[in-house]
Structure 1
């Protein structure tokens, strides 16, 4: 069994202790470090012998908040998955953090079971969007379209039929292995198609790919 290492950044000690207790109930999850705020997290990561795979991070923290920290993390440690855990559920917060490249956005009223599910999902598939976040994304993109109905020139991305199939399965949250099995191709072939999609859409990761696909109306491919 592969163990997923996790870092927690939250200024509320009681919340950190509760989250740690929940995670310790799962043999495949392990807390690697705890931080009180964004700067504390960055300091500990700089000294860590081994980086965590996932960071659970609050948005509102002293010294350095989650938004600023997420921006720095994506620059310094692009392979680390970031899941924000916050009481804020405003559309602007969600969309801004997704633009920064976070891999998941959870409200603190989320159950411990869903937090653990999100951790596993971002490691396996690259992102985790629950129904709440998905609706906010669609609502925000719909509003943008109403403000500017004229399509952008770069919105016309040419995809091969196979790339479109891969994108549709990514939007359905299939893993690389599941996509390979579904399309009867190798994992390497799927990874090549994913890399080509990232290049064509002009994004750096799967989260950006999903967001851009939504902006271009490709979400219907997942239905």
Structure 2
């Protein structure tokens, strides 16, 4: 008896548009991650060049420059590595490679999990963050001789938190959930298998194992 999930076992609706849309979203995310990795490096370099025109600023920056360069390089390795991975998977979607779907599912489940954890963590820590911010501003106002403006600071804190919540909800929850929805249908797998009939190593691996491999690779790069 033939496998009902095999490409030749029945009719399926081609999902080329879903695969292409996934590739576009992953490519844009990969470019954004690469930019995030490069930005601190550019900022550190620019600060060093600007400080050369001011000896006092150069002296103050000298003690921090090594730490800033180290942090920038770590940021570049992590975000740049993630960005390249997203771009490679996007290439797999653009060229309809059958290995692209397991990688998409693995990346997006981890991406979605990270977003949910960050959103919950922010919700739990928001009251303590508000207290720390209020104390810091009160001390700064006392030193400057100004009057405390608790209502104004509360309003600023609320605006900041709303921006954080919306950003996390859109880019770390809604976006990976959308990609998972695009890739979830059985016809997506059958479309890729019909366009790339050669069996790949990902066909013999489970999605969790691929996720563990990606995580181990990122940890190896970071260490």
TM-score (norm 1): 0.23
Q: Which has the higher strand share?
A: 1
Higher-RCO chain (CA-CA 8 Å, sequence separation at least 6)? 2
Which protein shows a greater Rg? 2
Higher helix share: 2
Query: Normalised by the size of structure 2, how large is the TM-score?
Result: 0.23
